[in-house]
Amino acid sequence: MNEAAYVRLHCEIGAAGPEFELLARRSRSEGEPWVAYGRELLRMAERDLERGAIDEAWRHLNTARRFEIYGLEKISDEASRARAATAAGETADGEDHPDGEDHHRTELEIRAAAVREEALDTLTGWRRRAVVDVLCDEDGEERLRDGITGSELRAASRILHEHYESVYLGRSERQRQFNQLVLMGALSGLTLLLLTAVDWMWANSSGPLGTAAGFLTTPFGPTGVADTVSPGFAVFMTVAGVMGAALFGMRSLRNRSLSTSVPQQISQLTVTGARGVIGAISALLFYFVLQTPLLHDGTLVSQDLITPALMVVVGFAAGYTERMAPEVVARVASITDTGADEDRSGGRDG
């Protein structure tokens, strides 16, 4: 669990409880449904926090805070009626209010102003437009609309809270995928070390380890010469591609901006596994491409440069760079299509 996230949420829940109880007492709402539901939501948030479910805890806490608006609405209505009665009594006594008298904002309006400012500073796109439509005056975003109701404030608060919950969910999914990529990179790296150790230590031994070492071919074997066309070398190169894919995935997660649109159909484990499979396939593709006869005339790369170390590096790069394999496939396709194009051109000339 993220310790900083735990501490922050623990403090928020600890402060939310007394604030909720005080509001219920001030609004004289004991026994009303919103009070009972709010208390239950706060208890659920505490239980979520105890089991480490940070996202669920925030969702329950935010819902409890929206229930507080019922109490603010009740307090504001009572204050408005009291001011109206006072104004009516003063008018009956013949005391007129001077023009330009300050308007005392109700607690509901104060909360609405805070939500508006927070939403304008945080939200973008349709969420921002929705909050502006609900809370702001027709003349622009700078002015809160008169006569804000509790239902409107709850709707705007819900939009703001849903944005935060989407961000929390996106961050947790990104952290989970990053951990999976780290694990995949570590396992592929350890696999490369294990294959090298088996090839180095038991290459001339008998028994199962000797058989495995005879099958495996690595650039770091005891002879210093690796048979790049052997299936064992293809295994080594494929694992290098998986490690490159893991490193690229971690880098892309760091550079990618956080989106609040979280995919629901594809799990992060599936995405991580797909990266490894694509990296392995790309490396295996280069295992064959670097040995194709197309290289003999220097079409793609000089045959003299093809060494075991180069092939492993290319396999790693194939997993790391997503566009590398498709570009090479397109290049090979253009080479193989040349003769057909010439035949078609000659046929048209004839």
* pLDDT tens readout for residues 187-242: 988 888 887 777 777 666 666 766 666 666 666 665 555 666 677 778 888 888 88
d(CA 236, CA 315): 9
Give the up-direction half-sphere exposure of residue 245: CA atoms within 13 A in the CB hemisphere: 28
Q: Which tokens is 307 given?
A: 């060494």
Greater confidence (265 vs 7) lies with 7
Q: What is the largest CA-CA distance in the chain?
A: 114
d(CA 108, CA 147): 10
> Which of 15, 116, 28, 112 minimizes the C-alpha distance to 69?
112
- At 331 the pLDDT is 63
d(CA 218, CA 188): 15
C-beta separation of 241 from 282 below 8 A: yes
d(CA 236, CA 233): 5
Mean pLDDT of the 106-124 span: 91
- Choice among 230-234, 246-250, 274-278 with the minimum mean pLDDT: 230-234
Residue 112: which residues within 8 A CB-CB, separation 6 or more?
135, 144, 148, 152, 153, 156
211 to 4, 36, 237, 238, 239: CA distances (angstroms): 51, 71, 20, 20, 20
Please say if the pLDDT value at position 349 is more than 60: no
C-beta separation of 262 from 171 below 8 A: no
Mean pLDDT of the chain: 78
